[in-house]
A and B are shown apart, each in its own frame.
Chain A
Amino acid sequence: MQIEEKTKIGYYPGCAITMGSSSEEYGTSVLRVAEEIGPELEEIHDWNCCGASSAHATNHKLSTALSIRNISLAEQSGYKEILAPCPMCSQRLIVSQNDVEEDEELKKDVEDAIEMPCNGGVKIINYLELIKNYCMDEIAEKKKKTPKDLKIASYYGCLLLRPPKVLKFDDPENPTSMEEIVEATGATSVDWELKTNCCGGGFTLSRTDVVLKLTNDILECAADAGADAIAVACPMCHANLDMRQKKIGKEYNRKFDIPIVYISELIGLALDLGPISLGLNKHFIDTESVVNAFA
């Protein structure tokens, strides 16, 4: 079969950021910003869930096969690059790709399970990489608004960075790519300590107490550093910090009111795209202060 190479980037949204899901505003704002400044994204046909932590925590082969099916689908459609804005997804796809490259037997088992070949050669990128590789000049050119005195704590969490030997993205202990993007929107970055700490991720339902403790530490650290808002690029970090923020405050006796914004929403505001078109009305913690800073 002749595969036609595409210049468009294959878009792998993953379950959490598609319409009608818990973090749909991330997907909405990623697509809205791409519409404005590129690059052209095209959804991978019939993609499936990568299995996230539940698959890799319980069945390595299943986890690898679920992820590789998506890469093989993208391969067959001729994409050379896949954007996976959710770091859980991008990390699973990249780690799985690496695992089959290193383990011939696993590769055979996976190809047998998905009934498709997996040839490699498709590059998977996260959202920060997409912006840094394709959009920094466009943001500078098309920026219409500069926020007045908006201090942002960039929060990376775990899976954009770790494991660093496989992901090969930024410095795992002191990354700076999100700060560069934050500053490109005209906001100010605050220096803080917990930007690569874990939020408890997938324990949000099963061990909520762990999530509350870890997110309390993160919110407290950002607040003490003087942040007006926290920027994220991960739906799980967002859900835990935004939807659980009131509960965290109650549990730990401190009132937080820190908007948690996706980096894509910040870029959108700088481009003067409507807040609702970016999904900023979908948050639990009101984002009005951030929107107003760009007014």
Chain B
Amino acid sequence: MKIKITTKELKSDFAEEVKKRSGIDVKKCYQCGKCTAGCPVAYEMDYMPNQIIRFVQIGARREALTSRTIWLCASCITCTTRCPKEVKIAELMDVLREMSLEEGLANPLEKNITTFHEAFLNSVKKHGRISEIGMIQEYKMKRPKTAMQDLLVGPQMLSKGKLSFLPHNIKGKNAIKKIFEKCK
């Protein structure tokens, strides 16, 4: 993919900002592409993992934070495991996702993924543990196009006793709410 970036858009302090937040030094990367070669989801990404690192290196902030790639990273950590320069690439994706959300830049094409994370964490916030039914319900309400998907899986899970209608609330659920408050 051809990418056009004008020097005006570049933010020279982006790499430093990322380093300050996460301790990850992208300047160590010499673009060998090993991360991309081993990435199981690269085939779906708009930019390859090594290109995302390049964006951070040169300060192409917007390109990195609006990419679909950061959401499609499955956190399998193969890249970090194999990087010859010990750049924590999977962990870099975490911090980029965090920044992308904070600034409202998350790519709308991967809204399913961000909505899933939201529904998952809402369930934890509410009960202290995951209520699978509650989480799936919230996700499907917010992403109605997925509502018809897996219609047969749910009943089969229920019949095997693998879904419970009643959420389990932990005793310390207020402590969990406090954790969410303090970690905003």
Contact = CB atoms under 8 A, between A and B. Distances in A.
A49 B130 contact: yes
Interface string B115-133: 1111011001000111010
Contacts of A66: 124, 176, 179
B128 A162 contact: no
Main secondary structure of the interface of B (DSSP, over half): helix
A293 interface: no
Chain A interface helix/strand/loop/mixed? loop
B163 interface: yes
Task: Classify chain A's interface size.
Answer: 35 or more
A24 interface: yes
B170 A47 contact: yes
A22 interface: yes
B162 interface: yes
B161 interface: yes
Contacts of B153: 243
A289 B137 CA distance: 35
B101 interface: yes
Contacts of A46: 128, 170-172
A202 B129 contact: no
Contacts of A61: 183
B175 A69 contact: yes
Interface in B139-184: 139, 146, 149-150, 153, 156-157, 160-164, 168, 170-172, 175-176, 178-180, 182-183
Contact of B94 (A23, A57, A197, A214): A57
A22 B170 contact: no
Interface residues of B, number: 59
Contacts of B132: 15, 21-22
A208 interface: yes
B113 A203 contact: yes
B5 interface: no
A15 B120 CA distance: 12
A21 B121 contact: no
Contacts of B10: none
A24 B172 CA distance: 23
B98 A59 contact: yes
A55 B121 contact: yes
Given A58-B97, A210-B41, A53 B75 contact: yes
A120 interface: no
B78 A198 contact: yes
B116 A54 contact: yes
Nearest to B149: A208
A192 interface: no
Interface in A1-48: 15-16, 18-24, 46-48
A113 B183 contact: yes
A114 B180 CA distance: 10
7 contacts: A48-B124, A52-B120, A112-B182, A162-B76, A173-B81, A203-B113, A210-B44
Given A49-B130, A65-B179, A115-B178, 15 more contacts: A15-B129, A21-B164, A48-B170, A49-B128, A53-B117, A62-B180, A66-B124, A66-B176, A162-B80, A198-B40, A200-B40, A205-B139, A207-B112, A210-B41, A214-B41
